[in-house]
Amino acid sequence: MTSDLHRPRFHFTAPTNWINDPNGVCFHAGRYHLYYQYNPNAAKWGDIHWGHASSADLVHWRDEPIALAPTPGGADAGGCFSGSFALVAGQPTLYYTGYTAQRQVQCAATSDDLQHWTLQPARTITTPPPGVGVHDFRDPYVFRHDDRWYMVVGASLHHERGQCLLYRSDDGIAWDYRGPLFTSPNLAFGRMWECPNFFLLGDRWVLTVSIWPGLGAHWFVGRFENEVFVPESDGVLDLDAGAFAHLTMQGPDGRTLQWAWMNEQREQARIDAAGWAGAMTVPRELSLDARGRLNLCPVTELAALREASVEVVTTGALCGVVATFAGRHLDIEATFTIRSVRDSQKLGLTVLASPDGGEVTRIVFWPDARRLSVERARSSTDALVRRQDLHGMLVLDEGEALHLRVLLDGSVLEVYANDRLALATRVYPVSEASVLGSVFVEGEADVALQVWAMGCLHEGPRSKLAQPPLALLSPTPMPN
């Protein structure tokens, strides 16, 4: 693993093979728990189980045995797809989508220790409402409100536009369909909404959805009235070729925390050679600003992994390269106070550059265009990796400086701008010498920079995740 230039060090990955969506995130019995879609047999999508890791501090993670496996002949025989965690009458409960070639259904499993889970077939929601196809019905998100349980399920209305469905329960066991929570206002938001999250943040309700096709995610902020969501504002949560399948939980200190999956951006031949695929974003903290915009930033605990400070620079109004640094696993904070805005002026950072400039990834902000980009065109000389650029709109408030938090971790790149725009993607430089970074300004700006090398998040040596005993995969008997 140490010889793999592209393997992350402080972003979560499974010991081997394929991972995708975060699932069942929770805090229970003194530890955070991260479940995730996992293929124990190959570094590609398929044979979906739930892997499991836990942490006492959101920083150092311990691999746990596989939590869920498909039940032969059961409602999840084709795979245990995405879902969420709830503590129902003191009983840890996972709600997730069971897949077969015939349909998708919403399953429930219970546990006493968060490691050994028992399927509860009597609790399965088998039939989607009219207008929703049997394979357009997935990813239950369960929460408590007004002394009742609610479940939001992702769907597609007539296979044409995204929709979120709402169910209600008095006991977390028997569910009644209450109607659509919210339907996409137009076709621009994709045909299917996956992995919906619906939660209270301050005094507002937030709905986040992952949009298919396109691998992007969107947020809506508004009101929950008469069991219908009324949006008041919205924005991009993560862009295409970035992060997907976001999952949110409330921490023991009241913070709203979120993870998302970062897909590979390379061909399967490269993935097979590496033996692993997929990574999680770092845990993020969500909040609303004074304008009602959804804000997101890495959790403060991440600073515990900072090691040597690589570079600290404060400059006046300069033009050109104002600082250089080097590394492949870095936490970078850069603040630019722009003196004036002129046409074509730009500023930002370069990372993972080779000495000859043949490989380089650029993070660029154009103040006049209000655009932040991750330029990947020269990020790798490997023809089997994707290198399209990412662009996001960032409007700075009057007198506001540009603050970039850049998390570089092997092939993982997360860029947070002013806590309200995230650009997450993957880059795969080939040369071992592609470790150079710099800060540049074309125009005039004051720059403050700090860069840290980052340590590893995993507790102890890693080995392939153990399968649970087969007896634990058997469902409980159906009631008479």
The residues carrying an active-site annotation are 21
Going by the DSSP 8-state scheme, the letter that residue 340 receives in this structure is: -
Q: Which amino acid is at 18?
A: W
- CA dist list (Å): 12 to 52, 59, 80, 276, 351: 11, 10, 20, 12, 21
Of 14, 34, 117, 26, the residue nearest 68 (C-alpha)? 117
DSSP secondary structure string for all residues of 403-463: EEEEEEETTEEEEEETTTEEEEEE-----TT--EEEEEEEEEEEEEEEEEEE---B-S---
Of 305, 347, 353, the residue nearest 443 (C-alpha)? 347
With residue 289 as reference, give the H or E element that holds it: none
- What tokens appear for 56 in the block? 């006492």
How would you class 203 by CB atoms within 10 Å of its CB: exposed for 0-12, middle for 13-18, buried for 19 or more? exposed
Of 214, 238, 282, 280, the residue nearest 20 (C-alpha)? 280
Q: What is the C-alpha separation between 468 and 318, in angstroms, rounded?
A: 59
